[in-house]
């Protein structure tokens, strides 16, 4: 039996990249990195599995869940708001500090 929210599909959460102010939508089952890439925002990345830390960013507002139990972050880093967007999924609208992100639609 379907619940009403099943028919509507998953909610999308707004993600804002700081300091640029760019925004994109991310589904709760999608990683921030993949959603950003789909929307034309290139965040630094390499392994895409939460181990290399190339994508490290800071969560300024909102709540995420990491897809893996032990992402490559220390407890102190997590407490300070550091996240790994390649394995992070939104649970609320987010504001993420990722200054090295570039927009593929903005000419230099």
In the complex, the residues that contact ligand FES under the rule CB under 6 A are: 45-48, 50-55, 72, 84, 86
Instruction: Give me the numbers of helices (H) and strands (E) for the chain, helices first please.
Output: 3, 9
Which residue lies nearer to ligand FES by CB, 11 or 49?
Answer: 49
DSSP 63: -
Which residue lies nearer to ligand FES by CB, 12 or 47?
Answer: 47
Least distance CB 3 / ligand FES (angstroms):
33
Phi-psi region of 83 (alpha: psi -120 to 50; beta: other; left: phi over 0): beta
CA dist., res. 77 & res. 59, Å (int): 11
Q: Name the residue number minimizing CB distance to ligand FES.
A: 86
Least distance CB 29 / ligand FES (angstroms):
17
């Amino acid at each position: 039996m379907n619940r009403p929210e099943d028919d509507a599909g998953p909610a999308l959460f707004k993600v804002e990249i700081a300091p640029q102010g760019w925004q994109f939508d991310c589904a709760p089952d999608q990683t921030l990195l993949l959603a950003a890439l789909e929307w034309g925002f290139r965040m630094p990345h390499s392994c895409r599995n939460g181990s290399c830390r190339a994508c490290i960013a800071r969560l300024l507002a909102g709540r995420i869940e990491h897809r893996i139990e032990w992402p490559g972050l220390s407890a102190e880093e997590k407490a300070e708001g550091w996240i790994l967007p390649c394995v992070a999924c939104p649970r609320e609208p987010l504001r993420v500090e990722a200054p090295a992100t570039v927009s593929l639609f903005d000419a230099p």
